[in-house]
Amino acid sequence: MINFEELEKNLNISFKNKDLLTQAFCHRSYLNENPDFKLSHNERLEFLGDAVLELVTTEYIFTNYPDKPEGDMTSWRASLVNANTLYEVALEIKFNEFVLLSQGEEKENGRSKKYILADSFEAFIGSLYLDQGYQACKDFIEKHLIKKKLEEIIEKKLYKDPKSLFQERSQEIESVTPTYQVIEETGPDHMKNFIVGVFLKEQLIAEGEGLSKHEAELNAASKALKVKKWE
């Protein structure tokens, strides 16, 4: 069994209700193989954590950038709380070592899957909120997410939508509007995975993957910008 005391020590956080911490890392697949496990999966905690995460990041940006318009603040927040950023942070604090997965997911490198780690991060926020309240979540999110990622997002303009940027570059340089096409769609209805290709005329420039068509299109556009050296 995974030792969550090690995680608490690493984060310098001690949960009053240890079950909340364990549940935050319990993937649905684990229960399929362990139906008698005493806890539920982490999807409800993820729902709660997502809301807390959005409020904390909104409050921080609003307070610390008083002269910025709504559009900029919205873009910065979206870049902070998207799956890519949460996945990076989850890896940095080694959440991948604590996820409870089925043997099948383990074999398919589930600990390295972006959506599993991003969801676990949100679920952890939800469990921390229930166990210790808003201020503890705020301290954690500011330390591990906002202060590590926001400055880079602003400086490198990572908040710009790669799909919009790729369209601008395509029209400006090649006088072509890119198109997107779903190449592959896998997984059950509640957990679809999409691979989308971005094309200039008939030429496939790059492919992107995501849990929604929109996310896959953004990832495809981001890769296409690198392929074309239009970053």
Percent of the chain with pLDDT over 90: 75
Domain range for 206: 162-227
Residue 211 near residue 194, CB atoms below 8 Å = yes
How high is the pLDDT of residue 41?
95
* Side-chain half-sphere CA neighbours of 213 within 13 A: 8
50 is catalytic: yes
Separation between Cα atoms, residue 13 and residue 143, nearest integer Å: 13
For residue 99, give the CATH number of its domain.
Answer: 1.10.1520.10
Contact 124, 25 (CB under 8 A): yes
Q: Mean of the pLDDT values across residues 171-196? A: 92
Asked whether 227 and 208 are in contact (CB, 8 A), the reply is no
pLDDT of residue 92: 96
| pLDDT tens readout for residues 11-70 | 999 999 999 999 999 999 999 898 999 999 999 999 999 999 999 999 999 999 999 999
Q: Looking at residue 143, what is its pLDDT?
A: 97
Task: Answer yes or no: do 116 and 168 share one domain.
Answer: no
The one catalytic residue in 46, 122, 215, 217 is 122
pTM of this prediction? Answer: 0.74
CA proximity to 207, closest of 193, 218, 195, 194 = 195
Query: Mean pLDDT in the chain?
Result: 93
Residues 48 and 138 grouped into a single domain? yes
pLDDT at residue 159 in the model: 82
Give yes or no: 122 in active site: yes
Q: Which pair of tokens denotes residue 203?
A: 């030429």
pLDDT given at position 95: 96
Give the length of the chain.
231
- pLDDT for the residue numbered 190: 77
Q: Are residues 93 and 147 in the same domain?
A: yes
Provide the CATH number for the domain around residue 222.
3.30.160.20
- CB atoms under 10 Å from CB of 91, counted, come to 16
Do 104 and 135 share a domain, yes or no?
A: yes
- The highest-confidence range among 101-110, 167-176, 177-186, by mean pLDDT, is 177-186
Residue with tokens 């890392």: 25
Average pLDDT over residues 155-177: 87
Q: What does the pLDDT average to over 143-164?
A: 89
Q: What is the pLDDT of residue 84?
A: 86
Q: Looking at 46, 50, 105, 215, which residue is catalytic?
A: 50
